[in-house]
Amino acid sequence: MGHYHLILIFVLLPFIGFLLSLLAPPKSELFISRIAIYTSAIQLIAVVVAAVLWIIIIRKPLHVEEWVLYQSNEYRFFIDFLYDANTIVFLLVGAFITFLIVRYSRYYMHLENGYKRFFNTILFFSFGYNWTIISGNFETFFMGWEILGISSFLLIAFYRNRYLPVKNAVKVFSIYRIGDLGILGAMWASHHLWHVNITFLKLQNLDLVHEHLAGHSEIGVFIGLMLLLAATVKSAQFPFSTWLPRAMEGPTPSSAIFYGSLSVHLGVYLLLRTFPFWESQPVVRIMIGCIGLVTAIISSMITKVQSSIKPQIAYASITQIGIIFIEIALGWHTLALLHFAGNAFLRTYQLLVSPSVVSYFIRDQFYHFVSPKVKKQNKLSNTLYLLSIKEWNMDYFITNVFFKSLKDLGKILSFLNPKNVLYLFIPIYIAGLVAYLFRDEIPVEIVQVLPEIFALIGCMMVLKAFAERNHPRLVWLLVILNHVSLALSVSFNEYFEIVETFIYLAGVFISGILGWFCLFRLKKLAPAFFNLNYYHGLSVQYPVLHHLFFLAMLGMTGFPITTAFIGEDLLFSHIFQNQYLLAFVVAVSFVVAGIALIRLYARLFLGPYPLPDKSNHLPSA
């Protein structure tokens, strides 16, 4: 039993350190840094001890099913942990690099505004990383995945009084949400393939996997492709590579631990963890190998034309991760693990010394400048050079094709304005409730399309919220209405009980009321800045409202601090196997709602603080 307790230390230690750092006085740099250093040092020792014990004594996967959060006749949501060889490698690399970064940051961040906030976020990231690595099922994995996403946003936007870091943080978080679409799709399809919350340990039973995939090859391929989508986004593979250099806006230590070494390799970990499931699916393996190959070729060319050292390191790391994807597709797991460790340590070192390298080369060029020799170039090399300079238009595709399309759809819904949104929604929703209560008396053909209809209504709400610029409270209201619509849409499917609707909407309404109060106060205190056309930086003037609204925003996005997180999984578990459209619309609604809310939070509370002549008009909260 001691071995199982040792596994739990990996998540308890950083979480306790995070809570202690929250209580530390903001001015006490020594106390704050000591909490982080001691926490990461003890964690490193625990990881090493556990690895040695496992290698010498156990030598088999350890499975810890800790506690069941919700259970019904048809569904079981539980926290599950797994410790095996993959876990050991990622924990060892993560613990050592975290200790190194924390030790380095103690002096690097000295006298920096937000010193305490930086270490808070690093410890929170460490908690999320360890939770993700030792997770034993998709639900537990997704909790850590979400923690890492919000930690990433906070570290990129660390210099929150500047425009570019905040803008890039919102962009990176928005692309992360595309990866969430893959995880949600894989979780939904897994419910129908296994009819239980499958654990990663059971996936290692090849006979069991082959038995379930024998008559369900299509759904197996679908799950594999959804996992590939999530891994591709998280590891910045083609065509999502451009988010990684833009994430380098945070402090150098956070760039090293997040985007050089640990967070960017989580897509690799997801593929390694689920390999027994998709190894017998040639389509998925070929897709993984092709994406890795294309990424490695394109990123290597982009690396050579970068004029700044951080983007150069970022694209070099992306190139190596592309090669790791190829290794995983070929089944070379040991090589992939070694490659991960080598790439993580190298990029950490490169990013930590990058300020010194830049300083050295500037002086060297000033005193020893040598004009480069211009080689004769042909049309092909010129074309590749220009494409690499433009990053192969990947950023253009993501921004102007994907997100602009969502925004254009939202603009079409201009009739959903503050004056009539409730007048339009309430009658439709009441009609839906009546249809739900008397669904046995309605023709089956009509009842079968009602889930898609109300899900599309909810999706319309969040598309309008995503495009809205003038009315922050309208954005908040539209996201609440989206959650209500989704709950009603899935209620038409059998076995979705009233108590499950309550579990889902209870978290939504608690967060919704708190967020509405914060927006009401902000509107009263700073009416001139109550819009979404600019980044207003009001966290400086209203720190209490800022923190309360941040918690409310997390709850509304389904972050694992309210029952809405369990409710989201409940919704997907009750969407039928043949309801692909409904599953897609619900997943898109969750993703777009998260993007709309993070943009709402960022534009109101982050960014450049109002100019002195305007700030005089801002009263205290």
For the stretch 397-415, pLDDT in tens is 888 878 888 888 888 988 8
Residue 302's Cα: distance from chain center in Å? 25
Q: Sorting pLDDT into bands at 50, 70 and 90, what band is 368?
A: low
Alpha helix stretches (DSSP H) within 330-440: 333-368, 379-389, 394-396, 404-412, 421-437
Using the predicted structure, report yes or no on whether residue 371 has a pLDDT greater than 80: no
Question: Would you say 305 and 388 are in contact if contact means Cβ atoms under 8 Å apart?
Answer: yes
Q: Is the pLDDT of residue 612 over 70?
A: no
Weakest-pLDDT range from 77-81, 131-135, 266-270, 470-474: 77-81
More confident residue, 254 or 273: 273
Task: Give residues with Cβ within 8 angstroms of 209, minimum separation 6.
Answer: 203, 276, 277, 280
Kindly report, residue by residue over 213-233, the tens digit of the pLDDT.
Answer: 777 778 888 999 999 999 999
pLDDT of residue 400: 80
Using one digit for the tens of pLDDT, what is the confidence trace for 123-141? 999 999 999 999 988 888 9
What pLDDT, on the 0 to 100 scale, is given for residue 620?
61
Helix (H) or strand (E) holding 80: strand 76-83
CA distances 206 to 212, 268, 353, 402, Å, are 10, 21, 45, 38
User: Cβ(193)–Cβ(223) under 8 Å?
Assistant: yes
Please say if the pLDDT value at position 359 is more than 60. Answer: no
* Whether residue 315 has pLDDT greater than 80: yes
Conformational region of residue 277, where left means phi above 0, alpha means psi within -120 to 50, and beta covers everything else: alpha
| H-helix segments, 195-281 | 200-203, 206-213, 217-234, 243-246, 252-254, 266-273, 275-278
pLDDT of residue 328: 95
Token pair 């090589």 in the structure block, residue: 335
Q: What percent of the chain has pLDDT over 90?
A: 46
Assigned token pair, 52? 């040695």
Question: How many contiguous H segments (helices) and E segments (strands) does the chain have?
Answer: 27, 2
Instruction: Give pLDDT, residue 131.
Output: 94
Question: With bands split at pLDDT 50, 70 and 90, how would you rate the model's confidence at 27?
Answer: confident
More confident residue, 159 or 363: 159
pLDDT grade, residue 372 (50/70/90)? Answer: low
Q: What would the pLDDT profile of 342-356 be if each residue is shown by its tens digit?
A: 999 999 888 888 776
Identify the band that residue 611 occupies on the pLDDT scale cut at 50, 70 and 90.
low
Encode pLDDT of 87-112 as tens digits. Answer: 999 999 999 999 999 999 988 888 88
Query: Is a pLDDT exceeding 60 seen at residue 515?
Result: yes
197-206, 332-341, 488-497: which is most confident: 332-341
User: What is the pLDDT confidence band of residue 373, given thresholds at 50, 70 and 90?
Assistant: low
**Six-digit token pair at 119?**
């270490």
What are the residue ranges of helices labelled H in 24-76? 29-53
Mean pLDDT of 160-182: 90
Q: How far apart are CA 100 and CA 264, in angstroms?
A: 18
**What DSSP element (H or E) covers 507?**
helix 498-525
DSSP output for 518-552: HHHHHHHH-GGG-SSSS---TTTT-HHHHHHHHHH
Confidence of residue 614 (pLDDT cuts 50, 70, 90): very low
Q: Angle CA(469)–CA(507)–CA(594) in degrees, nearest 5? A: 35
The pLDDT of residue 341 is: 94
Residue 499 φ/ψ, nearest 5 degrees:
-65, -30
Per-residue pLDDT band for 360 (boundaries 50, 70, 90) equals: low
Q: Collapsing DSSP states into helix, strand and coil, what is residue 199?
A: strand
Q: Helix (H, G, I), strand (E, B), or coil: what is residue 426?
A: helix
Contact indicator for 549, 170 with CB cutoff of 8 Å: no
Closest CA to 459 of 588, 325, 601: 588
Res 449 pLDDT > 80: yes
State the Cα–Cα distance between residues 72 and 95, nearest whole angstrom. Answer: 38
Rounded CA separation 554/269 (Å): 25
d(CA 99, CA 39): 9
CA distance 81 to 79: 7
Enumerate the β-bridge partners of residue 63: 82
pLDDT score recorded for residue 214: 76
Single-letter amino acid, residue 277: F
Residue 616 has pLDDT above 50, yes or no: no
Report which secondary-structure segment, H or E, holds 610.
none
Q: What is the pLDDT of residue 4?
A: 63
Ranking 60-64, 139-143, 426-430 by mean pLDDT, the lowest is 60-64
* pLDDT value, residue 201: 85
Instruction: Identify the residue with better confidence: 315 or 69.
Output: 315
- Non-local CB neighbours of 536 within 8 Å, separated by 6+ positions: 526, 529, 603, 604, 605, 607, 610
**Which whole number is the average pLDDT over 335-341?**
95
Alpha-carbon distance of 393 to 131, in angstroms, equals 35
The model's pLDDT over 139-148, given as tens digits with 9 standing for 90+, comes to 889 999 999 9
Poorest-pLDDT segment among 153-162, 215-224, 551-560: 215-224
